[in-house]
């Protein structure tokens, strides 16, 4: 993977070396955004969003202080996002247990992503690889393919995408699938084959 | 790797980029109401220190369960001043110097530090004590309501205007007065400027605690 682009790289490096003041700076920079993300996830429940945000930052600091975060492999924002995502999945699972509704709904738990927080570094590396692809710093995706993938990432429907690109729906779908093939190939070349635990040669557990 | 996982990763990459860019759209929120739930405290073990910001006083442990039933309106909390936090630190240091006996924590216990400011600055106090977590629960299992309920089970709760609660559990350190002092020092240092951001206080506390420690923090202002 090429050099990770991270506007907080210097703070991330210092935090990884044990400098809590740098982590505090990262917290100040990202906490409001993470809280908003959690608010969106939990339907505007402020208390729950605050709690999830706090747990995410505490877990992130523990991982960073414990040497489980490598700033060269993922931006600190991606890492904290991955930790927060795990915390969110843990919450959903605990909620399901409390309500007796069993495991998470398929829509809630993405395939290959477990709530186990120790997998956050590996998930962060995989998400970072996708970010690098979308930014054109990794892989051989064309600008149109990256644009299509960014639209998928933003939740745009196939029909809206086809309209925006001025293509027939079937053509847009074919190009999307071609972009998927390329992205999948890039991820596979980095050792990501579908399950975060299957990543070979990562620093994740 | 199937399409669904790929699409998940694309969504996550998009959201992570939003987080980095500060572009996560805000969600309008109503002021929440805290609904108290009954919390069982099995026993209080340690001496509890309460300190008015001007007049210190000693608190007894609270072995009885806290009963629920009332409702508290929660509004935006104001920033604890440096003087507040400095006073906390001094009071705890005095207590340690006076030879307060430390009581090591047992499994299932947490140390709870409450920093309370009264309405109209009339009454302020600091309270630290052990709390027994409800059976089968860890610190992170407690809801915000439960943490606040525990935090209010001390000095000046009836007149509390603003409250910062920091709870810690750890197997690697005694949850005693020295830890409470250490915690207060952390909050008085990196915690400056945290305002009403509870995660900021929790993060500040983590800097001085062992890696295994679990920390939760809550801040709120109350009007009965």
For residue range B10-49, list pLDDT tens digits in order: 999 999 999 988 866 655 443 333 332 332 232 232 233 3
Kindly report the nearest CA distance between residue B55 and chain A, in angstroms.
Answer: 33
In which residue are the tokens 């429940």 written? A45
Residues of A in contact with B27 (CB under 8 A): 36, 39-40, 44
Mean of all residue pLDDT scores within chain A: 84
pLDDT-based confidence at B126, cuts 50/70/90? low
In which residue are the tokens 């350190």 written? B173
Report the alpha-carbon distance of residue A78 to residue A80 in Å, rounded: 6
Interface of A with B in 54-83 (CB under 8 A): 54-58, 61-62, 65-66, 75, 77-78, 80-82
Cα distances from A21 to residues A66, A82, B16, in angstroms, run 16, 22, 23
Nearest to B8 among A34, A53, A113 (CB): A113
pLDDT, position B75: 33
Give helix A76-99 / helix A46-65 axis angle, nearest 10°: 130
CB distance A158 to A169 below 8 Å:
yes
pLDDT, position A145: 92
pLDDT, position B37: 34
Q: How does pLDDT run across B148-200, given as a tens digit for each residue? A: 777 766 555 555 566 778 888 888 777 777 778 777 777 766 556 676 778 88
Task: Count other C-beta atoms under 10 Å from residue A32's C-beta.
Answer: 16
Tokens encoding B144: 């915000």
**Residue B166 in 3-state DSSP?**
strand
pLDDT, position B64: 34
Q: Which of A99-108, B106-115, B145-154, B194-203 has the lowest mean pLDDT?
A: A99-108
Cβ–Cβ gap A127/B16 under 8 Å: yes
Residues of B in contact with A29 (CB under 8 A): 22
Closest CA to B116 of B97, B146, B95, B88: B88
Higher pLDDT, A23 or B155: A23
Q: Which of A108-122, A133-147, B45-59 has the lowest mean pLDDT?
A: B45-59
Mean pLDDT of A52-79: 91
Check residue B40 and report its DSSP letter.
Answer: -
**Residue B155 in 3-state DSSP?**
coil
CB distance A135 to A147 below 8 Å:
no
Report the alpha-carbon distance of residue A123 to residue B12 in Å, rounded: 10
In which residue are the tokens 């508290």 written? B72
Mean pLDDT of A3-21: 87
Cβ–Cβ gap B211/A66 under 8 Å: yes
pLDDT, position A148: 92
In which residue are the tokens 């039933």 written? B69
Report the alpha-carbon distance of residue B165 to residue B139 in Å, rounded: 13
pTM: 0.64
Give helix A46-65 / helix B144-152 axis angle, nearest 10°: 90
Q: Which of A113-117, B86-90, B103-107 has the lowest mean pLDDT?
A: B103-107
Tokens encoding A39: 């608010």
Residues of A in contact with B203 (CB under 8 A): 20, 23-24, 27, 57-58, 61
Q: Which of A81-90, B114-123, B167-176 has the lowest mean pLDDT?
A: B114-123
The dihedral of CA B211, A14, A87, A89: what is its sign?
negative
Nearest to B197 among A31, A47, A82 (CB): A31
pLDDT-based confidence at B76, cuts 50/70/90? very low
Compare all CA atoms of chain A with the CA of B198 and give the residue at the minimum distance.
Answer: A54
CB distance A60 to A22 below 8 Å:
no
Report the alpha-carbon distance of residue B72 to residue B171 in Å, rounded: 34
Cα distances from A115 to residues A89, B35, B224, in angstroms, run 5, 29, 39
Kindly report the nearest CA distance between residue A14 and chain B, in angstroms.
Answer: 14
Interface of B with A in 10-29 (CB under 8 A): 10-20, 22-29
pLDDT, position B140: 75
Kindly report the nearest CA distance between residue B77 and chain A, in angstroms.
Answer: 14
Q: Which residues have a Cβ under 8 Å from the Cβ of B149 and sit 6 or more positions away? A: B36, B37, B39, B66, B68
């Amino acid at each position: 993977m090429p050099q990770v682009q991270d506007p907080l790289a210097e703070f991330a490096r210092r935090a990884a070396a044990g400098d809590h003041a740098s982590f505090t700076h990262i917290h100040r920079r990202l906490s409001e955004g993470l809280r908003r993300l959690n608010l969106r996830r939990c339907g505007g429940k402020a208390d729950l969003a605050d709690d999830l945000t706090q747990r995410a930052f505490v877990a992130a600091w523990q991982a960073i202080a414990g040497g489980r975060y490598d700033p060269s492999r993922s931006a600190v924002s991606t890492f904290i996002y991955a930790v927060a995502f795990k915390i969110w999945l843990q919450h959903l699972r605990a909620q399901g247990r409390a309500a007796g509704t069993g495991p998470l709904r398929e829509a809630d738990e993405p395939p290959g992503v477990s709530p186990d927080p120790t997998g956050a570094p590996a998930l962060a590396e995989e998400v970072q690889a996708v970010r690098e692809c979308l930014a054109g710093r990794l892989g051989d995706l064309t600008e149109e393919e990256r644009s299509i993938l960014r639209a998928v990432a933003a939740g745009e429907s196939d029909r809206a995408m086809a309209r925006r690109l001025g293509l027939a729906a079937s053509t847009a779908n074919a190009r999307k699938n071609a972009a998927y093939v390329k992205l999948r190939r890039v991820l596979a070349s980095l050792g990501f084959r579908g399950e975060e635990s299957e990543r070979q040669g990562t620093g994740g557990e | 790797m199937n399409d669904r996982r790929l699409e998940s990763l694309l969504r996550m990459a998009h959201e992570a980029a939003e987080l980095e860019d500060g572009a996560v759209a805000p969600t309008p929120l109503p002021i929440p109401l805290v609904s108290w739930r009954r919390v069982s405290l099995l026993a209080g073990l340690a001496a509890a220190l309460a300190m008015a910001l001007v007049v210190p006083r000693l608190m007894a442990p609270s072995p009885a369960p806290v009963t629920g039933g009332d409702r508290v309106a929660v509004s935006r909390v104001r920033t604890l001043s440096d003087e507040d936090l400095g006073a906390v630190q001094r009071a705890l240091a005095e207590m340690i110097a006076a030879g307060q006996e430390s009581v090591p924590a047992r499994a299932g216990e947490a140390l709870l530090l409450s920093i309370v400011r009264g309405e109209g600055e009339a009454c302020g106090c600091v309270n630290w004590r052990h709390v027994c977590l409800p059976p089968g629960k860890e610190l992170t299992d407690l809801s915000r309501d439960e943490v606040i309920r525990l935090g209010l089970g001390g000095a000046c709760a009836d007149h509390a205007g603003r409250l910062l609660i920091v709870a810690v559990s750890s197997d690697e350190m005694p949850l005693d007065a020295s830890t409470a002092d250490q915690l207060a020092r952390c909050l008085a240092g990196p915690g400056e400027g945290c305002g009403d951001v509870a995660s900021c206080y929790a993060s500040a506390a983590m800097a001085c605690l062992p890696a295994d420690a679990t920390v939760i923090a809550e801040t709120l202002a109350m009007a009965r």
